[in-house]
Amino acid sequence: MVKMNIIIKAIIVTALIFAANLSIIFYIENSRNTQVTDEIKQLEETQLDSQITLSLLQTGDQKTYCQIMMTELEAQTEKLYPLFNQLRDYEKASLITQYQETKRSFILQNLQYYSQHSQLLEKCPNVNYTTILYFYPDTTLCTDCSVQADVLTALRQECPTVRVFAIPTDYDFSSIKTLIKEYNVTKTPTLVINGKIKVETVKNKEELKTILGKC
């Protein structure tokens, strides 16, 4: 009987410790998710403000428009890429929290960011930016995609005028479906450079720099 009581107490203590640890993990992960969500909301406000500002300048001087738009997009770049890395790292380390809704919000912000870059390049032909659309599956394993993503990260760090836009092909946004159809994306990873050059095989950094012709 005494032995049974000891076993029961041990089980209870173990359960309490497990519950306490689980609560701590949940609190930490919930705090991280809240932090990222708040940053995405701030970015959304910034993008909306930029869009309104640029709309007001549409009929004005083109040089002024281009300068302001470049400044706005540079400010967004400084926030967007670190936020993407933060969200990716949190998701990898997560044991409990699901980041799907947060990721959906981020993906829409990234698509809006790409749309603004497209407007900039269309209206300001002297802008020296290179855009790379990177199509990949987010919810299924793709070893080549991981390799290509690391290469693109290194390329972007070395080439400040390169803008990489990650497009997850397995999300149901009409904007993503439109891009997939426009560029006839049938496999992953696929890169579309400046809306013209399509690459369907994994390339290392030097190969991409050769394709770009500049950095």
Q: Domain spanning 128-215: which CATH class is it, in words?
A: alpha beta
Q: Which residues of the chain have pLDDT under 70?
A: 1-33, 36, 43, 54, 56-60, 90, 93-99
What is the side-by-side order of every strand in the sheet holding 190-193? 162-168, 130-136, 190-193, 197-199
Q: Where are the alpha helices (DSSP H) in the chain?
A: 2-56, 62-93, 100-123, 143-158, 174-182, 205-212
pLDDT of the residue at 29: 60
Radius of gyration of the chain (CA): 22
Instruction: Please tell me the predicted confidence (pLDDT) of residue 6.
Output: 58
User: Residue 21: its pLDDT value, please?
Assistant: 47
- CA distances to 87, 98, 108, 129 from 101, rounded to whole Å, are 12, 8, 11, 31
pTM of the predicted structure, to 2 decimals? 0.75
| Distance (Å, whole) CA 6 – CA 129 | 70
172, 139 Cβ separation under 8 angstroms = no
